[in-house]
Structure 1
Amino acid sequence: MRRLQGRALTAGLLMALLALAGCSTPVTEPAAVTVSGEPGEAPTITYVTPLQVDKTRTEQIWEGTGAPLVEGAPVLIDFWLEDATDASLVKESYSTNPTAMLLTEEDLGTDLYNTLRGQKVGARLLQVSPGTGSGATDYPTVTVVDVLPTRADGEPVAPRPDLPAVTLDASGAPSITATGTDPPSALVAQPLIRGTGEQVGASDVVTVQYTGFAWTTGEPFDSTWTHGLPVSFSLQDVKAWAEGLVDQPVGSQVMLVVPPTYALGVTDSEELAGQTVVFVVDILATGHPDQAAG
């Protein structure tokens, strides 16, 4: 199980524990917020409720070791958000799928933008904020944010000479060189980069970057890299992707060669009817909707 329920101590319980320990000093300040848990897992958050918050503060739980976040570029995050008055869970993404946004104040809002700006992929961050008074979040919040990669990250796999050669630009966006040969008649799933993350399950919601190409010309016809953000969808909705991506580890880049016997699903096109297409897919995350936190 990936999700670990956030927890908090009530002020009354803390007072009782102090009394049992022989301490008569009254508690006048809320306890500090502490965050524990392993990378890739939902955090455990501990603090005294109700938490008194008069201004937004942020803390780096651990530093990222990946690429620096780029202003205006996509950022992918997992988050755990609690109502700090009683430590109740408001929303989380660890059991479903992460959220993709642009690193701009307009897209993220002032607080989250300032929390993420200057960070690197792999960082875990704490943000404690007062209520906005807007009605949507008129209570203080405690949020833990994990910064995820927006491109595949792992060990390169030796390419197959019978498949199109793949070239990546500086951002990670792929292009291919057509082979000039007849396409295979069966579905091909060829890893190009092998990640080390969790394996994709048949009923998972995957978060990916991808580009689709025509086999014959190598020309792209659809790409998240040009649309701007990674996307998430259920594998059950796309048969070819389900067959090709199941059991692949997160962090991998996989080439899918899809014959015309499969419906494209994510990007049906009349121009490509009857043609074999090639997808280069970066698997960024995989979630389990059936395990979503209540």
Structure 2
Amino acid sequence: MRRLRALAAAAALVLSLVGVAGCTTPEDAVPDVTVTGEPGEAPTITYLTPLDVKETHREQLWPGTGPTLVNGDAVLIDYWLEDATDASLVRESYSTKPMAKMLTEVDLGKDLFKTLRGQKVGARLLQISPGSGTDATDYPTVTVIDVLPTRASGKVVPPVAGKPVVTRDQSGAPTMKPTGTDPPTTLGAQPLIRGTGDQVEADDVVTVQYTGFSWTTGEPFDSSWSHTGLPVSFSLQDVQAFSEGLVDQPVGSQVMLVVPPSYALGITDSEEMAGQTVVYVVDILDTGHPAGAASG
């Protein structure tokens, strides 16, 4: 009899633990959201509306294989944000240009900062948030986020004789050693790292990191790396030298552009470099074909 009572008590304890661990209250239920789509493409999100969201849910849809995001450093993302009450699109970046921010709670907001923190470049993430007002919305939202590189990544191309030598620090920012020779008189484009992404087209909006150097001294005169550390986006139509030099280069590449003084600098407002040959080292991070998108 005592053995039967002991077995019954043990069974009751097991059932009690299963109930605590296995039962899910409506407040704790994970919203039923399905995301499909390939890397580099806008996602398709499927769920029943209105979506009842009690608290923020975060999910890694696939892991990244690149560097881990570092708090306080630049982060570059593509995103797709929907109003979860009716699945209407609020805003997205895939048809325009990716968003560059610093990985801080102040820059990104509390929810997005928590979603991105600790992730790796290449990850696709899902964030489902209630309409709490923390991200300036009064309705629940579903957001898919793709984490993009902030530096060139690909196969290093052997240096070419007679060209300046470029080296990179740990962050990817370049420095340049001049050749000590007379500058060329024609525009030149030399890949330093060859990426494997989409090829740049003449009318694209590109997102890049860049540094401009004096051909003669090798001293930098302008750099996105040192201004804010954030990548910049602009229309190639606005910068002739970049338009001619970057066309057909794949995303992920680092390209050295040698720009003679017959070209306007375009991306740089520098009176000190007027009439001089300059060298731009450009990391191509993204390219797109947004109709009517403004540079900036």
Query: 1:181 offset after TM fit, Å?
Result: 0.0
Aligned residue runs from structure 1 range 62-73, under 5 A: 62-73=62-73
Query: 1:283 offset after TM fit, Å?
Result: 0.1
Contact preservation (8 Å) 1:159, 1:192: yes
Distance in 2 of aligned mates of 1:250 and 1:71: 25
Partner of residue 256, structure 1: 257
Q: Given residue 94 of structure 1, which amino acid in structure 2 is its aligned partner?
A: Y
* Structure 1 counterpart SS, 2:263: coil
Distance in 2 of aligned mates of 1:238 and 1:206: 11
Alignment gaps of 5+ in structure 2: 1-28
Distance in 2 of aligned mates of 1:68 and 1:269: 35
Partner of residue 161, structure 1: 161
Aligned residue runs from structure 1 range 51-200, under 5 A: 51-133=51-133, 136-200=136-200
Partner of residue 285, structure 1: 286
Partner of residue 10, structure 1: none
Deviations 1:141-197 (A, max 9, x none): 000000000000111111111110000000100000000000111000111111000
Contact preservation (8 Å) 2:30, 2:57: no
Deviations 1:61-120 (A, max 9, x none): 001000000110000000000011111111111111100000111111100000000000
Alignment gaps of 5+ in structure 1: 1-28
Contact preservation (8 Å) 1:79, 1:145: yes
Distance in 2 of aligned mates of 1:155 and 1:266: 27
Contact preservation (8 Å) 2:74, 2:102: yes
- Change in CA separation of 1:135 and 1:276 when aligned onto 2, cut-off 3 Å: closer
* Structure 2 counterpart SS, 1:201: coil
Distance in 1 of aligned mates of 2:283 and 2:38: 23
Contact preservation (8 Å) 1:36, 1:45: yes
Q: Given residue 90 of structure 1, which amino acid in structure 2 is its aligned partner?
A: V
Aligned residue runs from structure 1 range 200-219, under 5 A: 200-219=200-219
Q: Given residue 284 of structure 1, which amino acid in structure 2 is its aligned partner?
A: L
Q: Given residue 103 of structure 1, which amino acid in structure 2 is its aligned partner?
A: L
Distance in 1 of aligned mates of 2:133 and 2:160: 58
Query: 1:31 offset after TM fit, Å?
Result: 6.1
Partner of residue 273, structure 1: 274
Distance in 2 of aligned mates of 1:78 and 1:106: 19
* Structure 1 counterpart SS, 2:121: coil
Partner of residue 24, structure 2: none
Query: 1:268 offset after TM fit, Å?
Result: 2.6
Distance in 2 of aligned mates of 1:271 and 1:258: 15
Query: Which of these two proteins has the greater Rg computed from alpha carbons?
Result: 2
* Structure 2 counterpart SS, 1:48: coil
Q: Given residue 89 of structure 1, which amino acid in structure 2 is its aligned partner?
A: L
Partner of residue 12, structure 1: none
Deviations 1:127-149 (A, max 9, x none): 00011348941111000000000
Q: Given residue 273 of structure 1, which amino acid in structure 2 is its aligned partner?
A: A
Partner of residue 243, structure 2: 242
Q: Given residue 129 of structure 2, which amino acid in structure 1 is its aligned partner?
A: S
State the identity %.
75
Deviations 1:207-238 (A, max 9, x none): 00000000000000011111121100000000
Q: What TM-score do the two structures reach when normalised by structure 2?
A: 0.87
Contact preservation (8 Å) 1:30, 1:47: no
Distance in 1 of aligned mates of 2:148 and 2:40: 9
* Structure 1 counterpart SS, 2:291: helix
- Change in CA separation of 1:142 and 1:262 when aligned onto 2, cut-off 3 Å: same
Distance in 1 of aligned mates of 2:133 and 2:99: 24
- Change in CA separation of 1:260 and 1:291 when aligned onto 2, cut-off 3 Å: closer
Contact preservation (8 Å) 2:31, 2:52: no
Distance in 2 of aligned mates of 1:105 and 1:160: 44
Partner of residue 22, structure 1: none
Q: Given residue 239 of structure 2, which amino acid in structure 1 is its aligned partner?
A: V
* Structure 2 counterpart SS, 1:244: helix
